Structure 1
Amino acid sequence: MANVNKTTVIEFVLLGFSSLHKLQIVVFCFVLLAYIICLLGNITIFLLVRIESSLHTPMYFFISTFAVLEIMYVSATAPKLLAILIQTDNTISFYCCFSQSYAFNSLGQAECFLLCLMVFDRYLAINKPLHYCTIMNSRFCSKLAVLPWLLGFTIAMFPTVNTFRSDFCGSNEINHFFCDLEPLQDIACSDQFVNIMASIGIKSKEGKMKAFSTCSSHLIVASLFYVSAIVVYVKPKGSHHDKFLALTYILVIPAVNPFIYTFRNREVKNALRKVVRQLIKQLQR
């Protein structure tokens, strides 16, 4: 018997923070400010590492890669959230919804693996100082930096494809501000047991990775990201606070990360002062 596609939904409605009514403008201002700070902070770190020769080390190479990943990760959801908050467009097509879901989850997976890679780099630097430069050469670092992207985009594909193949024949309203897998599974008509187990399994594995952290900055960043994500994805679903918790690891933490890496790191602060002084001199000429 031929497989009949029961999907009748062609677009979804993202409810976002509609329950807040007039307070949505306050959330809009907060989200816009956090998004701008995240973009400026991570772009600054990326350019600083590229410009300043003293930062041409494996640790800062990974930090600059992390900055690029943060920009993409936040940009997967923030622009649409801003549009929803000012009530210009709270709908998203079926295919765009799953594209956003895949991008968000794959970039989130890649970020988790990259954090672990940064911890591995610090482990070698602290425990194998005599062999560190030999092991972490530029070619090896470049190969390592590709791994989080490959793993993230590969692992996220399975739960996304499984959810995409589900039947959506009822309500098209998603009680979230972006197309995450859990709210999509909530409105699907078909059984989602396998998809839910797959999603939780991925997140819990990521949570265990924080145990390998050996550097204070990495510990702060990893803990903030993992703990907030675990609370959302491993706890019983259906909490009214899911959307606010999601804002924490989707937007707030990426906006704070540049300050954690900058203000807790003397080399970065010195490099930033040096670049600023050079720019001032050039402007005075």
Structure 2
Amino acid sequence: MMDAVAIEEGGDGFLRFEIRYEGRDAQRHQIDMMSLGESLQGFGRIYAVIGHFAATGQYAKQSQALSVKTYAQEPEAKCFSVAGLIGTASQAGLFQGMAGALVAAIVTYAVSRSNDKSEEMRHLRELLEQQMGHSQRNLDRAMETIERLVSGLGPSIKKSVAPVGESCSRIDLYANGQKHKSIDLADKEAIYSADDGELLGEREYTVLLTEFDRLLRRCKVHLLGDDIDEDLDEGGLPPRINAEITDPAIQLPGNKYGAAVSNDKPIKVKAKAFLKDGAITKLFISDCE
């Protein structure tokens, strides 16, 4: 639940947030500079545009029209993190006293690419109702502006997730010391393919692994059980689909994934599935029994 989350509103007129890059190179407190630069460009625009809306209630497309600026602060030595500030000209605007909470909620909504955004939408409407009352006209107008804003941020959102799957395993977004959004490889794939498919939430699947590559963390799988495809191949198995394994246990000697391939036996995994035209085309596996 996000209800307690708010970007910290300091008395100095800044809203504070943090971007943490977790896993892979970031575990060693380092990250590829090219992908980091692309990511920070993306997040810089995301927070600036959303911060401007929180301060003024308006959507500005051009950078020169923005009334806020985003700044990077010196990070603490953890994974690889960037502490940030949104510099606002004034907190005495349309969303006075709730700008931090609104920025966190809209950022979460913007980078979520699941088809079911009902929970994020509900939270946004509740925040707006707290400030604007129950005027349906004003609420609808604000939500329409947010939808246009999020749509316009599409290229920046794609930039922001550049390091995921390359130099880090995921990006965690923090506000007021609390994590309000985690972006993993499955989310990145959905962001890059937003117009072509749908990302399902994590659940359990029974699969048969083939063509396992421990270094690249990739494999191909046959879906079994209730998820079996009606079209079977000559061997009586459903078509193979690609899978990415984000589970850190894949790096351990004798891990369950390699053993499953060697034994040629099905295993149960936890994964997010990417759908296209109603069919599962890729799995992002985070754990296995």
TM-score (norm 2): 0.21
**Which structure shows the higher helix fraction?**
1
Larger strand share, 1 or 2: 2
Question: Relative contact order (alpha carbons < 8 A, sep ≥ 6): 1 or 2 greater?
Answer: 1
